[in-house]
């Protein structure tokens, strides 16, 4: 972490100062064991990548990969993602945000704990530069439908899906994660959502502490 980590604080300059190069920024929230982000950073040395995760085993796995590959374009923040978005990410500074297979909290009484709800979606959209992309994926169909409805309701985002379903083909950079593999064994279909940040000016899409989802 001293070599490849970024400490949480409210200084937005921490992000740009963490990298050797000035380059487009990609952000992954809840990266699990970090394999997807590791492959992206390896294949795309022309971009800077930040992974946000709270669980130590996944953070350790990614850090080991970063060190083994001597990557200078990938940094890790071990902290609550919503607080990072709220305090550390400049509006209009991110080219792509990935939220791959977040916890679906399938029981109805737990739906309030889901990460991707309207205030968070708009806060993530506000971090994107115009033309930037928010990419989410899930293997839980009810959550996919819920996300699609809420993404479509955002005035800041436009759907990039080509078909009528509203769901997109997965980009090449998205590896098959262990969560996806488990879902396929259970017969689950995987749904990808790709939404582009438009030029609409957000009135107040900053995520306020009292609007943050519980849990």
Catalytic residue positions, numbered: 103
Asked if 145 and 104 touch (Cβ cutoff 8 Å), the reply is no
Using DSSP, state whether 158 is helix, strand or coil: strand
Helix (H) or strand (E) holding 32: none
Angle at 76 between CA 67 and CA 21, to 5 degrees: 75
**DSSP notation for 57-100:** HHHHHHHHHHHHHT-SSEEEE-S-HHHHHHHTSPTT-EEEEEEE
Residues 6+ apart with CB under 8 A from 94: 25, 26, 27, 127, 128, 129, 132
């Amino acid at each position: 972490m001293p070599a490849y980590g970024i400490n949480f604080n409210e200084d937005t300059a921490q992000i740009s100062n963490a990298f050797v190069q000035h380059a487009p920024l990609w952000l992954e929230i809840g990266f699990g064991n970090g394999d997807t982000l590791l492959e992206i950073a390896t294949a795309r040395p022309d971009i800077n990548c930040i992974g946000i995760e709270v669980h130590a085993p996944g953070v350790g796995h990614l850090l080991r990969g970063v060190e083994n590959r001597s990557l200078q374009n990938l940094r890790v923040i071990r902290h609550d993602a919503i607080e990072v978005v709220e305090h550390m990410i400049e509006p209009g500074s991110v080219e792509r945000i990935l939220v791959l297979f977040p916890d679906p909290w399938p029981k109805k009484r737990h739906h309030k704990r889901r990460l991707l709800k309207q205030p968070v979606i708009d806060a993530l959209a506000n971090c994107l530069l115009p033309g930037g992309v928010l990419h989410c994926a899930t293997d839980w169909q009810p959550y996919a439908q819920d996300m699609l409805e809420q993404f479509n309701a955002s005035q800041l985002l436009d759907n990039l899906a080509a078909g009528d379903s509203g769901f997109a083909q997965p980009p090449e950079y998205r590896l098959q994660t262990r969560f996806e593999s488990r879902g396929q064994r259970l017969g689950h279909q995987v749904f990808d959502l790709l939404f582009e940040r438009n030029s609409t000016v957000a009135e107040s899409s900053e995520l306020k502490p009292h609007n943050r989802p519980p849990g």
